[in-house]
Amino acid sequence: MKYLWNDKVLRLMFLVLTAVNFLLIGPLQVGIPVLANQCLPEGAAAFGLLMSAFAGGNLVGYLIAGSLPHPSGTAMRMIMILLIGAFGAVIGSLGFIPSTWTDFCLLLLLGLGNGYIAIILFTWMQTRTPKEMLGRMMGLLMFSNSGLVPISQAISGVVSKWNLTPLFASAGALVLLVTLWTASQPGLRAFSESLTAAQPGD
């Protein structure tokens, strides 16, 4: 934790990854089933379609991130900001669109962006971390990715029981705030430059 905190660029990316994951995972895992049950005419079939879209999008994002070269510094910064902002816009719109196929397309795009950025961030964090700390760093990453899930789910469950639309809208608004904060951080430039320098063959 000390090593993570003292590395300003690594700390920034860790905080962004943790915040976005925390804000998205509850609405996705709790809100989507409620959305399918209460708002979409296909019911259980809609739930299966939406979750399949998100999972399939992630798979495509993994493949794209693993097979294509990473963009240059400025392009990578723009992609990061646009993707995180798109996450907020997509999750925020789900509570207002009672159309299974529209939601399907949105979640497919959300999954694609999530898979792409997840592979890039995890790979970059692993290459930046000394070998003797790699296991502990991955433990922290797993905590940010999985350990906060029950809290996010619990909050989402309480909010969805009250009203489903504010669950998605508030999550989307908070992700957009994270986007604005990330864009203002000088560490974002250092991240994109170090990412480009770390590509195989460089």
128 in helix, strand or coil?
helix
Structure token pair of residue 84: 């995180």
Contact 186, 8 (CB under 8 A): no
Tell me the domain boundaries of the chain: 16-22+43-193
pLDDT digits (tens, 9 = 90+) for 112-165: 998 998 888 888 888 888 888 888 888 888 887 777 888 899 999 989 888 888
DSSP state letters, 17-83: HHHHHHHHHHIIIIIHHHHHHHT-TTTHHHHHHHHHHHHHHHHHHHHHHHHSPPP-HHHHHHHHHHH
DSSP 13: H
Q: What is the pLDDT of residues 62-121, one digit of tens each?
A: 999 888 877 777 788 888 899 999 999 999 998 888 888 999 999 999 999 989 988 888
